[in-house]
Structure formats: C-alpha cells, structure tokens
Amino acid sequence: MKPIPFNKPFMTGRELAYMQDAVDSGKISGNGTYTRKCQHFFEETYGFRKCLLTTSCTDALEMCALLSGVGPGDEVIVPSYTFVSSALAFVRQGAKIVFADSCPDNPNIDVTKLEPLVSPKTRVLVVVHYAGVACDMDKVMEFAGRHGLLVVEDAAQAIDSRYKGRPLGGIGHLAAFSFHETKNVIAGEGGMLVVNDGRFVHRAEILWEKGTNRAEFFRGEVNKYGWVDTGSSFLPSELNAAFLWAQLECLDRIQDKRKLLWETYRDRLSTLEARGCFRMPDIPEYATNNAHMFYLVCRSIEERTALIARLKENGVLAVFHYLSLHSSPYYKDRHDGRALPCCDRFADCLVRLPMYYELLPEDVDRICSIIKEFFN
Ligand SMILES: *Cc1c(COP(=O)(O)O)cnc(C)c1O
C-alpha cells in the first residue's frame, strides 16, 4: 500500500536550469532579472499595479503593516480562522487585534457581522481568501470605504483565483501572496507584496530595500542613494526568483491538474455529502476555484479525529488546519472574550485531504473509498 502524503512540492523541471543561469550571470542577490520577470508576470497577467517579491508572505504582510502606519492605540480587524502571520504583522507594530468570526458556511470572514467591531481606533481590515476562494469583496470594500479602513488581502492561498472576474490580490489597497512549498506555485519559501493603491508604491520600494532609495537609484531617477526611511531586507535572492520563474511558466498546467483532482474529490464524495456526513467546500457564485485545497467539514471533532485516524491506518495523511487565534496561548488574554462559534467549528471539524500536482486520480479514488467505508 503506497503511502499518500498530505503535500508534495512539485518541480516543473526547469528550476535548476534557471538557478544555474542566475549563477552564470554573476548576479544572485535580489532585484535582478528573475525577480523582475516574476513581478512583471503578475503585473501583466493580473493587472496588479506594483508587485515586489519578498522572502515570504509573512514578510509581505509585515510590509503591509508598516505601510498602513498602525501603531499602539490602533485596532486592526482580522479573522480568527487564519494563519498566525495575518495578525502577527500588525501585533509587531503595536496594534490591537479585534478578531472576527467566519461565515456559517465557509471559513472566510463574515462581513455582515463586522459593524459592531469597528471603533474610532480601527484602521485596517485584513481579509483572507481561505482555500483560494474569494471573500465577498464588494461588501468588504463597501464596508471599509464607509469606515475609512485600509483593506489588506491575505491572498497567500489565492493565486490565479477571481472574484466577479477580478483577480484576487488586486482588489484591496494592499495584498500578500505566498510561494511556500505548500502553496500551488512555490519557491521553497517566498512571497509577494501587491500594491494596488498608488499612494503606497514609492514607500513600498524603500521599505523593501532596507529603508534606502536604492531602487530609484538603479533606475537612474536619483544620482545617489541613502537611508531615507525604516524597512528591512524583504527581497529574496535571484536564486529563489529563478526557481519561482520556472513555476510561473507552468502555472496553467499546475492549475489544470489541481482542478482535475479537486473535481474528482467532489464527484466521488457528493453522495456522502448529500447524506449529511460532512460538508464540502462551497464555491459562491461570485468566486472561481483555484483548487488550492480540498477539505471536508465533519459533524464533530470526535468524528474528525476518527476519520483522520482511519485514513492514517490506510497510509493516507489528512490534516486539520488553523486553531482559533483568539484562543491561542499568545492572544487569549488580550482577546475581548467574544465567542466566535463559526471559527471554532472550523477549527474543530475541518479536515484537509491530500492535494498536490503529482497526486493521481487513482489516489483520489483510493482516499474516497476509505472515506466511504468509514461512513458506511
Ligand atoms: C501560508 C500562509 C501564510 C504564510 O505564508 P509564508 O509564505 O509561509 O509566510 C499567511 N497567511 C495564509 C492565509 C497562509 O495560508
């Protein structure tokens, strides 16, 4: 019985050749040819205003926090069902996090419940497109506009996905993508900041280059460069960018294969869902599916634990996902005590099934047979 891992990073075959090319070019630090190729790819393909590769999505979120200008005394609304980094970046700047609940039928932030969370101190709204499925962005932008909030899209999982035809990561004022090895397109570790609001373009470049105006200098726009602001070394080396470029060249192939696997799961498991055994991801009318993840929402934590154990006995690694951030050891004493029941339910009941390029439709059949036996 062949073990089936939860994830397996996919190599397209060109990664080493492009990394070798970067080495041969004699320039392997950041902001070189491959970095610019990758950034242009996103700007051209999706119409993002300005893209800057970063060493991780966490770094890109930290840049968002710096650009937002939040500090002690400010509040930031963040969904509780997300990865630590969505909140951490703003906590580091001294802001207070006001955690929001998920929708009843999917893990994205429930925009209809945000009104009571706003105070005169609220500055930023972070939304996460969970599993690459869009939040209801018209409602998000309308709400944020009404309260004068900056919108940051945590689009870590959302490459090549859309809301009413508009690419995710291109709607909020700022957005962050991840190329961590668990995402659809990878660079080992890697990420990208997207600046859609022109007010932030200039400062983003400076923060990216350790607080210097080096990028302008290399474009010949200023005749010397120096220390002009705060920042860090957010840019990745050309070796990572070369690796990422090989992946981006194969984006369509990667997406097609993942969507095929996703549809196979949905097809094989739909009768069990109809019987009420679990819920499968629901793709709203306004969203597309980028097949980042296939998950089930079980009826109870006990049933989920038993299902994960049954799959494991049969060599299949399925995993749960986020623990509610509002009750995490780091934040529980700072949380205002509101219950976030939908978030807690996804923390307890959601299980992710194996999903990676080299997974075969036969593997999906085998996984689904184990699940069927479990529920019968
Ligand atoms: C993966 C992920 C991150 C972190 O990405 P890194 O590139 O590992 O920093 C942040 N937010 C969400 C929603 C993610 O899925």
Supply the CATH number for residue 279's domain: 3.90.1150.10
Distance 181 CA to ligand 1 centre (A): 10
Distance CA 256, CA 64 (A): 31
Helices 201-208 and 57-68: crossing angle in degrees, nearest 10, is 130
Asked if the structure places residue 349 within a domain, the reply is yes
Asked if the structure places residue 3 within a domain, the reply is no
Where among 199, 227, 249 does a domain terminate?
Answer: 249
Ligand 1 atom index nearest CA of 191: 7
- Tell me if the pTM is above 0.75: yes
The domain of 63 spans 15-249
Distance CA 121, CA 72 (A): 10
Are 203 and 296 members of one domain? no
User: How many domains are contained in the chain?
Assistant: 2
Are 51 and 197 members of one domain? yes
Asked if the structure places residue 8 within a domain, the reply is no
Are 129 and 221 members of one domain? yes
Asked if the structure places residue 10 within a domain, the reply is no
Hey, whose CA ends up nearest to atom 5 of ligand 1? 57
Distance CA 60, CA 245 (A): 19
- Which residues line the pocket of ligand 1, CB cutoff 6 A? 56-58, 82-83, 85-86, 128, 154, 156-157, 178, 180, 191
Are 244 and 257 members of one domain? no
Are 270 and 243 members of one domain? no
Ligand 1 atom index nearest CA of 59: 9
Substitution candidate for ligand 1 out of 54, 130, 180 with most atoms within 8 A of CB: 180
Q: What is the pLDDT along the chain (376 residues), one digit of tens a residue?
A: 899 999 999 999 999 999 999 999 999 999 999 999 999 999 999 999 999 999 999 999 999 999 999 999 999 999 999 999 999 999 999 999 999 999 999 999 999 999 999 999 999 999 999 999 999 999 999 999 999 999 999 999 999 999 999 999 999 999 999 999 999 999 999 999 999 999 999 999 999 999 999 988 988 999 998 999 999 999 999 999 999 999 999 999 999 999 999 999 999 999 999 999 999 998 999 999 999 999 999 999 999 999 999 999 999 999 999 999 999 999 999 999 999 999 999 999 999 999 999 999 999 999 999 999 999 9
DSSP string, 77-111: EEESSS-HHHHHHHHHTTPEEEEEPBPSSSSSB-G
Spell out the alpha helix ranges (H) of the chain: 15-25, 33-46, 57-68, 84-92, 137-147, 201-208, 214-218, 238-249, 251-274, 301-313, 341-349, 361-375
Asked if the structure places residue 1 within a domain, the reply is no
